Chain A
């Protein structure tokens, strides 16, 4: 399925681009070996377009699918009830643009014990139609119940697009549904748009400094998950109304195979939740050790913020995983983000590029972080952080 044409000029760019060592030069021509996983990295780098991957499209029946659906995630509220998790409003805001472009309806699906109480709020954020599914077993999210309900609603109403939050709930639920329906699912999208009637989903790819646009042209619905804090939330318009459709999907009790024994909510993560913090001071490999991270905590205290970390620093055991910023951690969009000793690989950058002001300190003037920051300082991050903190403490 992968071929190298006569156009190959033997430049060897594909050899260094291959993550799997599957490209070799034989007689000044590139040859693809058995190690190839068809990831496409070589196709992209070839300057003469000599490498191509052929494929057939799925040929599912995609007619009759219409509408953009947003899965509503509910959170426990302190009064014992539930509230709509804010990421839902971000998804509705993103879905609004997609629905308008397609000329289709924006719909919300809300599943819960008392799901109907949330309709006014969902309408205020732009839902034109709301599917309400009340179920006595839906006090808390469980995979089997929610997946059964969603699959039956999707089969019945045939939406063109379904978006889920990339949270523990969304990341548990969406792949189960995608697998059942034999449809595509793109995780952690950083951009969504419409290309020739299809949902164009953008995400970082191949664990690397590269973005991929992904389409699912041959199957419906097209499904994607999006992290909290990635999409911009529109202002709500109270008083907007939506068509409410009550859906009673009966799910047999014997289909609910996982039982919740105990739940424990704990919001005391080191110095507050990083995703809600207006100031985030993050450290990377360049902070070197625990002492370096203590310096960051000092600065965070002065500026009223939280300490975050790059994956490298988390892997070095310098900071908890819960405070990792980036593709495999948390996405933040604070007012101020200070990146200290972080090189700025795209996995990290996608987790913080929504920040209003980014300041970076790195001793390597060529670090990619300097391409995304508003202010960059070439210097030793530990030293700079220590001095700044001292000055702020002394009220200078």
Chain B
């Protein structure tokens, strides 16, 4: 029975990874942009929440609705001011620019908030759980998984059913033709990045309730998000969820045997997938190019 419980914990963890990764997946799918500052932007959202909570004296659930629009706005500004131009400059430029941004963010956070780990207070949300026979179902973890399902489901519906979604898909298929059809690409890309950063900031904050937050956390956040995207397959949002869950289950199961090797095991899972199926579980081979 304990291993069933472990699998459940792994799936919850996977939900958290997927919620972080969905923005990375979306931005790559639409703009072919690998945003290496993705994890750091998620961490920025967390620090923003702690600042709002401290400044206004409000609890987490009131600070989140303040932070998410700000994160969305930050995403739009970055896209319009930086990423658009990087995408136009050449194939290597987006990598150099977003990695540079990542270093800037980490060092800024370190200068402003110091290198110490900060907690994100959430009342007793981080310990509350439902006990169901041998299963322990923590509320926070279930909330993250639920949010991952809602965000991915909602995005899929938006992409499939709305005019915005049609324009995004058309742009993703062929940028030049989409422009010829009169689609205004810049504002479209800005909304995509806004959504990606908003979702990442939400995920980052909820993760920080359990682990706390420190300036260089974004590095590991990016790596896990990236692995979820690749394992699931490029361009597939539901694939990202499956990828995140595989990572989470691997990590929890291995930690039962040996805690130090738990994270190494999920990294190795990623490398194995890369070796056996470079385009991921649900991706198409040509997307990996």
Q: Do A and B assemble together?
A: no
- Report which B residues bind A (CB closer than 8 A): none
